[in-house]
Amino acid sequence: MTESTGTTRLTRSAIVEAAIDLADAEGFAAVTMRKIADRLGVGAMSLYRHVADKDALLMAMTEEVGRRFPYPHEMARTDGRGDELSDDLAVVGHRTWRECVQVAVEIDWALYQRHPWVVLAYSSPRHSMGASSLGCLDWMMAGFSQLGVDRVTSAEMTLTLWSYIQGVALADVSDQLLRTNPEQVSTRSGLDDVLDGDEAEPPPPRVAALRGVGRERRLTDSRRRLDHGVELLCVGFEAAAR
């Protein structure tokens, strides 16, 4: 559905695009129909001819962002009449299941770095399981099928992997999401203070052993923690499939 207002051509896709740009710049809390309308040069009420409400808008935003970060399906999903394992291998381009996991990690991490607000949106299944996410789920299930697990287990492994990526990503972008002062730049935590030997109060005894070790990457580098944690998950997946 489209409409023209002066020289502006108003469409659902234009509204969603403006909302995504606004969320990227100011966070999802700043996304209002009034601000979107101002960006598009139209009246706020005209937006409701294209999106029912802000909840419907969020669902459209997450679906569009997910569409921009697809997993690499090598062929269309099959009708299930062929050899299941052969079909699964064809879908993932004959990647190993661990290679599929790495692809998912890279794509999802890039998505959350580009659109931090999506981490929160994807924490709600209602906002995260649209067509694009279901396509990614299908692809990752095809990868995990190489472990010889059933469809329910392959879906469970995928959701577990996604939950871990989202958790690390949330920790990485949380300062951006929570910051109320645009000029605030410090992201130091109490653990940082301990690692630097600069804590205000004595830390608990076992934490005290970390005092002064400096910026140990295993504790401070989110991406390093993501990769190491995913490796531990993969070890667990493989053990569970035996």
Burial of 40-51, coded b for 16+ CB within 10 Å and e otherwise, reads bebeeebbeebb
Give the pLDDT confidence score for residue 6 in this predicted structure: 47
Give the pLDDT confidence score for residue 195 in this predicted structure: 87
What percent of the chain lies above the pLDDT cut of 70? 88
Q: In the chain, how long is the greatest CA-to-CA distance? A: 68
How would residue 82 be classed by pLDDT, with cut points 50, 70 and 90?
low
State pLDDT tens for residues 168-227: 999 888 877 766 555 555 567 788 888 888 888 888 989 888 888 777 778 888 999 999
Q: Within 13 Å, how many C-alpha atoms sit on residue 91's CB side?
A: 27
Give the right CATH number for 71-241 from 2.130.10, 1.10.357, 1.25.40, 1.20.120. 1.10.357
Mean pLDDT across 66-95: 78
Mean pLDDT across 137-159: 97
More confident of the two residues 89 and 168: 168
Cβ–Cβ under 8 Å, residues 61 and 121: yes
Within the chain, all domains assigned CATH 1.10.357 are found at 71-241
Where do runs of H (alpha helix) occur along the chain?
12-26, 33-40, 54-68, 84-91, 97-114, 117-121, 125-128, 131-144, 151-178, 190-195, 205-208, 217-220, 222-241
Exposed, middle or buried by CB within 10 Å (0-12, 13-18, 19+), for 211?
middle
What percent of the chain lies above the pLDDT cut of 90? 60
More confident of the two residues 179 and 69: 69
pLDDT at 96 over 80: yes
C-alpha span between 43 and 39 (Å, rounded): 10
pLDDT at 128 over 90: no
Exposed, middle or buried by CB within 10 Å (0-12, 13-18, 19+), for 75?
exposed
Give the pLDDT confidence score for residue 181 in this predicted structure: 56
Give the pLDDT confidence score for residue 76 in this predicted structure: 55
More confident of the two residues 116 and 74: 116
Q: Choose among 125, 134, 123: nearest CA to 167.
A: 123
Tokens of 122: 């994807």
How would residue 85 be classed by pLDDT, with cut points 50, 70 and 90?
low
Within the chain, all domains assigned CATH 1.10.10.60 are found at 2-51
User: What is the model's pTM?
Assistant: 0.84
pLDDT at 100 over 90: yes
State pLDDT tens for residues 45-63: 999 999 999 999 999 999 9
Give the pLDDT confidence score for residue 8 in this predicted structure: 55
Give the pLDDT confidence score for residue 7 in this predicted structure: 45
Ramachandran angles phi, psi of 9, nearest 5°: -100, 110
- Just give the CATH number of 2-51: 1.10.10.60
